[in-house]
Structure 1
Amino acid sequence: MNNLTCFKLTISGHIAHLVLSRPDTLNTMNPAFWRELDQVLMQLHKSADARVLVISSTGKHFSAGMALDTFAGSSTLDDQSAEGRAAIFDLLAGMQATFTQLETLRIPVIAAIQGGCIGGAVDMVTACCLRYATADAFFCIQEINIGMVADVGTLQRLPKLMPLAVVKELAYTGRKLGAARALAYGLVNEVFDSPEALLAGAMQCAREIAAKPPVAIWGTKQAVHYARDHSVDDALKQMGWLQGAIWSNQHVRESMRAMKEKRAGSFPDLAALQYFNENGL
């Protein structure tokens, strides 16, 4: 995709690397950000080119969250009528759906976070599978500091990732959560000394994921997310149906041979998707 203005996307060795590339604006989320992210995630979901996605950034901060011009002009929230306030629901639903794509993407998503992860950026990274951070990284639910409620996923996903009382503290006060404390609470998987070490660590994890059978990784992501939101009994039943649908003796044998022979396994990609509302079907 050569027409991106907010990101740079590369795919190599079955690893997609999406880089927020507007450091001069602290990688804030302007209207183009939402359009382009939606486009990129849809393409990655449909294609079979990548087996894992790494999201990193440039400059001092990972992202300072929503750009001031996001709700300017025609996107201004109308609080002067019941009809205008009702329309806020649909506007937010579209933005929420963009970040939910990170969660429903057929491949795991790793966020590599340096510096500030503020406001909408917290919404974004909480929808990712794994989070790595630099030692100077911090997280801030900035919305409360500007007189509003965080509304694109932070308050729904963060309580599933760290203690509820800590989430309330951050959401009520707008305080910054440093990387060391975020690591202790389980929000981030590992902390690195520099952005270079951060990206190297994220890419190492991505390579390990990409070496596994893609359909087994897909199934694992499905099962983990289902279990998070359902009872153990329901999740065990779902696991039975899921395993029955994707089980492959060939993949198990190849994995065992590859371990014994100390080599990388060879596995087929996920099938590419094409939807009925698209040309060609």
Structure 2
Amino acid sequence: MNDLRCFTLSTQEHVAHLVLDRPEAMNTMHPAFWRELDQVLDHLHRAGDVRALVVSSTGKHFSAGMALETFGGAITLDDRSPEGRAAIFDLLTDMQATFTRIESLRVPVIAAIHGGCIGGAVDMVAAACIRYATRDAFFCIQEINIGMVADVGTLQRLPKLMPLGLLKELAYTGRRLPAERALACGLVTELFGSHEELVAGALACAREIAAKPPVAIWGTKQAVHYARDHGVEDSLRQMGWLQGAIWSNRHVGEAVAAMQQRRAGDFPALAPLKRFSEL
């Protein structure tokens, strides 16, 4: 994919690395950002050869969130009529779907966060599986500071990731959450001293994931997300169906043999996907 303006995308050892690459604009999110992110995630989801995705950034901040000049320019929110307000719902649904693609991607996603992770960027990393950060990183639910409610996933996903009281404090005040406190509350799982160490650590984790059977990683992600949103009894029942659907004696045997022989396992990739309309 060589036509990206807001990102760079590379793949090595079955690991994709997506980099926000507009440091001069603090990697803010304007319409091209959403279009390109949709395009990249759709490509990775359907291809089947990638086994993990790392999302990192460039410049001083991971991302300063939504580009405010977008509103009133490329995007107009009409609050003068019920029809206009209904259109706001549909617009937000479309934007929410882009970050939900991160959550529902067939492979794990690791967000590598440095500097500021502000506003819409918090929505974005909340949809990732794992969050690593530099020690100078911070998170800010910026929306309340500009007179609005965070609306693209922060308030829906963070209650599953951190203490509710702390989330409310941040959402009501717009205060910054420093990396050390983010680590302490579980939002972030590891801190690094520099951007270089951060990216290296995220890629190392992604390669470790990529060494496992892809369909077992897929099944694990399905089970964890289902259990997050359902009760134990329902989740155990779903686990039985899931395990029965993807169980492979070959994969288990190969994984055990690879451990015993201290070598990399040999596992098939996920099947590539096509839309029904393309068949």
Same fold (TM over 0.5): yes
Secondary structure in 2 matching 1:75? coil
Aligned to 1:271: 271
Aligned to 1:26: 26
Secondary structure in 1 matching 2:66? coil
Aligned to 1:145: 145
Q: CA RMSD in A?
A: 0.6
Contact 1:15-1:206 at 8 Å conserved across structures: yes
What CA deviation, in whole Å up to 9, does each residue of 1:94-137 have, x standing for no partner? 00000000010000000000000000000000000000000000
Aligned to 1:54: 54
Aligned to 1:93: 93
Contact 2:4-2:36 at 8 Å conserved across structures: yes
Aligned to 1:165: 165
How far does residue 74 in structure 1 lie from its aligned partner after superposition?
Answer: 4.8
Aligned to 1:202: 202
AA matched with 2:33: F
Change in Cα spacing, 1:28 to 1:74, as seen in structure 2 (3 Å) is closer
The 5-angstrom pairing of residues 118-157 of structure 1 reads 118-157=118-157
How far does residue 68 in structure 1 lie from its aligned partner after superposition?
Answer: 1.8
Contact 1:258-1:264 at 8 Å conserved across structures: yes
What CA deviation, in whole Å up to 9, does each residue of 1:48-73 have, x standing for no partner? 12100000000000000000232233
Aligned to 1:73: 73
Aligned to 1:45: 45
The 5-angstrom pairing of residues 6-17 of structure 1 reads 6-17=6-17
How far does residue 277 in structure 1 lie from its aligned partner after superposition?
Answer: 1.7
AA matched with 1:109: V
Q: Distance in 2 between matches of 1:75 and 1:199?
A: 33
Contact 2:31-2:74 at 8 Å conserved across structures: no
Identity level (%): 75
Answering whether residue 237 of structure 2 is matched by residue 257 of structure 1, we say no
Contact 2:118-2:142 at 8 Å conserved across structures: yes
Q: Distance in 1 between matches of 2:215 and 2:207?
A: 16
For structure 1, the residue ranges without an aligned partner over 5 or more in a row are: none
AA matched with 1:146: I
Q: Distance in 2 between matches of 1:210 and 1:252?
A: 16
Secondary structure in 1 matching 2:70? coil
Aligned to 1:185: 185
AA matched with 2:31: P
Aligned to 1:248: 248
Contact 1:11-1:49 at 8 Å conserved across structures: no
Aligned to 2:237: 237
User: What TM-score comes out, normalization by structure 2 length?
Assistant: 0.99
AA matched with 1:124: M
What CA deviation, in whole Å up to 9, does each residue of 1:188-209 have, x standing for no partner? 0100000001011101100100
Secondary structure in 2 matching 1:255? helix
Contact 1:115-1:134 at 8 Å conserved across structures: yes
Answering whether residue 102 of structure 2 is matched by residue 106 of structure 1, we say no
Secondary structure in 2 matching 1:73? coil
For structure 2, the residue ranges without an aligned partner over 5 or more in a row are: none
User: What TM-score comes out, normalization by structure 1 length?
Assistant: 0.98
Aligned residues: 279
Aligned to 2:225: 225
Change in Cα spacing, 1:74 to 1:137, as seen in structure 2 (3 Å) is closer
